[in-house]
Amino acid sequence: MRASCRGVALAAAVAVATAAAAVGLQLPERHFGCPPAKNVCVYPIDTAVLQCEALFDFQVELHVVANASVANPVLDELTIRLRLPSGEVTTPAALFPGATPEFRTWALTAFRDMSDENPTGYDAYAVTYRNVFVPLRVGKGYVTVTVEARGVTTEVSYEIRAPTTRAAKNVVLFVGDGMSLPMMTAARLVSRGMYQGKYKDKLTMQAMDNIALMSTSGVDSIITDSANSASTYHTGQKTSVNALGVYADSGDDVFAHPKQELLTEYIKQTMGMSVGVVTTAEVQDATPASTWAHVRQRAEKAAITAQAINGCLNCVLAVRPDVLMGGGGKFFQPAFSVDGSDMYQNYSAAGYTVTHTREEMVAAAKNPATKKLLTISHAGNMEVWLDRNVYQGNMDKAANDPTGKGVPPTQQPNLDEMTMAAIDVLSRNDKGFYLLVEAASIDKSAHPLDIPRMLSDLIELDNTVQQVVDWAKAHGDDTLIIATADHAHGYDVFGTVDTQLWNNAVQSSPSNPVRDTDNYCAAVTDNAGQSFPSAFANGTTSARASNLARRASIGTYAAAGYSDYVNRGDNFPKTWNVRTTLASGMNNHPDHTTSFTVATSIKKPAVLVDGAFVNNAKDDENGVFQSGNLGPTGSTGVHTLADVGVFASGPGAERVKGMLDNTDLYHIMASALGVGTDGRREKK
């Protein structure tokens, strides 16, 4: 049995289902969007915190074991009551005037409990009130929803937040994707250095006025992905892995799940603010898409590309971000777009200036006539900072230009260039702007265990934050700036490595340990029918000796000393190929080898052999073997549970303190912008 209570425990949030078995309603497990009695699901979910005036789809869903004796009449017997903070008891029809209930049914299969070997067939019945909101008159406090169906009573409770006076004209949210606190410590050491045990300087993010810790788990799992985490930042609502702007109900239609309004939708529709989105990933990737998309599966990238300008099923409006920058050109091309059309042309028809290179982007941003700017400079994810700026030869290797011309995309802008160009355009709106900036490849480098690329993108993010902090100070000091991550990766530093000693150990080993490593790696197949070479298993051969000789180059405690990175003046090290580098790594990984050095080309730690990922012998040929601790289909490292840091300055930053939940971030931004103030939506 899974634990049923999530997030903030509310006294009123008690579900009772004592009569379920007697009347034919069963308890399907694994529908994690449902409250504790999982035969009756209510969305928004129990413990949700709702902002007055923010839209949501209110849905009640019943699960009935599929057999003839308990067929259709369930919805007819359903009663829904809402108790308001004032004590008044009302109905959905009265609280949400004008909303027409939508009735749907579908079949599903689910495990009744974790011990079931086979899933059970159910009929699901749902009633949905689309695009409703809690009006200002309800006031702050708790709303309790009581659902009765065939003698089964389920209660969920929502906290209602009343609006606050607007304090910030603009909000800029930086998301270092996967940026854990130990990564920031390592980046500070690499970037700023250390003297007599003290950091020489802080990262810009660490120098901000307010700092907090934040938990990142989702409705369905302790471990979040970028979709449900970023979605939560923009809705204030929890959701499930892979979901954007919706609660995950049990239905199959990925576009029909109960929606949660995005902050971007509210501020565009009711406040006339501008919205900008900058990423180094594909613009359809989870974090950027969380500013406009409503879809159960983040993988619907072609549809997500269209949703930005066309809106979505049952949506009030299309967000049409005023600035959209990053990669993802593939899904704009007719061969891959949702309807075979040229999405660049569609964006152009929707008022966008379409650009593909740094020079085009800068020129368009400086042109006062540019109202909407699309800059797509890569077919997929943009190259990481280290390849854009140091190992530039890597950029020429693949024909990934954004328009499908079959040439390399060598004119990709850096994150700070995109961000400041975005602000050029967005700041022309007197009503203010919201800008999301994602440093995507902190995460995308952490997955393949590529630590220098991960840290270089973190430093690029931090330099970008500095430029925006400087811009905000020079432009009225009325911009709330927040920098955080969406989830962690299991990274830390445990010492240093003398790479010269390491290489000496490789070179001087009498029986050529490099070759031994190759042989070992080629043969390794673990206990899924695979045998370790006896040479390693015995631990007595030259291969074992060379492994130990290399590991003798790792210093811990007093033997660690300091690493050799030197700031070249722009917070990046003069060289990443230092003699004394960091001994660091991930707490989860596939079989792989590491020598702790910078890889001159993109890393691929493991390769698929007979259905399981094993060490890629070619990835780090001087490396020592690390036995995988993930399942056999795990090709890279994965996200982890650790709380992330939140760093903030500007009006509204004072709410960033102590221990936060990721739902709080929305409410901090919504409060700073005065979402719901004056009952704007009700008056419309």
Supply the residues annotated as catalytic. Answer: 226
Give me the residues that bind Zn ion (CB under 5 A), please. Answer: 443
Q: What is the DSSP string of 62-82?
A: EEEE-SGGG-GGGGGG-EEEE
Nearer to Zn ion, 381 or 412 (CB): 381
Shortest distance in whole angstroms from residue 356 CB to Zn ion: 26
Q: Cβ neighbours of residue 127 under 8 Å, at least 6 residues apart? A: 59, 60, 75, 78, 80, 101, 102, 103
- The span from the CA of 352 to the CA of 100, in Å, is 35
Tokens of 620: 């780090």
- The span from the CA of 286 to the CA of 299, in Å, is 9
Nearer to Zn ion, 513 or 590 (CB): 590
Q: Which amino acid is at 74?
A: V
Nearer to Zn ion, 358 or 639 (CB): 639
Shortest distance in whole angstroms from residue 290 CB to Zn ion: 14
Whether 648 contacts 482, CB under 8 Å: yes
Shortest distance in whole angstroms from residue 228 CB to Zn ion: 12
Binding-site members are 177, 285, 287, 438, 443, 447, 486-487, 639
Binding-site members for Zn(2+) are 443, 447, 486-487, 639
Shortest distance in whole angstroms from residue 642 CB to Zn ion: 14
CB atoms within 10 A of CB 462: 27
Nearer to Zn ion, 224 or 580 (CB): 224
Of 417, 433, 408, nearest in space to 363 by CA: 417
Nearer to Zn ion, 170 or 287 (CB): 287
Binding-site members for Mg(2+) are 177, 285, 287, 438
Nearer to Zn ion, 265 or 443 (CB): 443
- The span from the CA of 656 to the CA of 649, in Å, is 9
- The span from the CA of 358 to the CA of 376, in Å, is 10
CB atoms within 10 A of CB 44: 24
Handedness of CA 7, 13, 19, 23 (dihedral sign): negative
Shortest distance in whole angstroms from residue 444 CB to Zn ion: 7
CB atoms within 10 A of CB 16: 12
Handedness of CA 446, 449, 455, 460 (dihedral sign): negative
Shortest distance in whole angstroms from residue 79 CB to Zn ion: 43
Alpha carbon separation from 283 to 123, 169, 376, 381, 477 (Å, rounded): 37, 25, 8, 8, 29
- The span from the CA of 638 to the CA of 226, in Å, is 12
Tokens of 35: 């409250």
- The span from the CA of 102 to the CA of 313, in Å, is 14
Which residue's C-beta sits nearest to Zn ion? 443
Nearer to Zn ion, 178 or 245 (CB): 178
